Amino acid sequence: MKHIKVFGIKLIVMIVIVLSLFGIYDHMPIVNLLWMSLLITALTYIVGDMIFYRYFGNIIALILDFAFAFALFWYMGNLFIGVEYAIVPLAFFAAFFFLCSEFFIHGYLAHLFAKTYQTESRDIKSLQNLRVEFAEETDVQDIVDNKDNKK
């Protein structure tokens, strides 16, 4: 139920982004825009929130989400709109607004799944478990003197 709630919130945000930015083309049917929103939401939720965020933490997941969303907006824009229009700037702005919403969605995911999601990457957690060993310092001259005395 929690996943459906987060997916619904993400879908509403995605519909607003897609209808606002990609809706400027007059020949785009609203059905194509809704399909585009649903596909991008499903892929970014599965890959971005279930994989990237869970295993890499918030900052790296946001960077990867931006790149993945940009690629998806670019591909879906070319697929649904066509290559004769300037899709790259439109995909960039759509990915930027998506990134702004993902910051809040990741916070909500961390709140809902506090026990299962990691807030830090695995490398940082493994570094926190390291311990430092201390030893007595010895003077090099004492070691040299002891070797000379033994001869």
* pLDDT given at position 28: 78
Residue range(s) defining the domain that contains residue 34: 2-120
- Residue 23 banded pLDDT, cuts 50, 70, 90: confident
Q: Is residue 61 part of a domain?
A: yes
Q: Residue 49: pLDDT band by 50, 70, 90 thresholds?
A: confident
User: Considering the entire predicted model, what is its pTM?
Assistant: 0.70
20 occurs within a structural domain:
yes
Does residue 12 sit within a domain?
Answer: yes
Q: Are 65 and 44 in contact (CB under 8 A)?
A: yes
Does 131 map to a domain?
Answer: no
Which value, in Å, is the radius of gyration of the alpha carbons in the chain?
26
Is 80 part of a structural domain of the chain?
yes
Give the number of domains in the chain: 1
Q: Is residue 57 included in any domain, yes or no? A: yes
Please give the angle made by the CA atoms of 95, 38 and 86, to the nearest 5 degrees.
40
Residue 139 lies in a domain: no
pLDDT, tens only, 84-136: 778 888 899 999 999 999 889 888 888 887 766 554 445 555 656 666 666 66
Whether residue 149 lies inside any domain: the answer is no
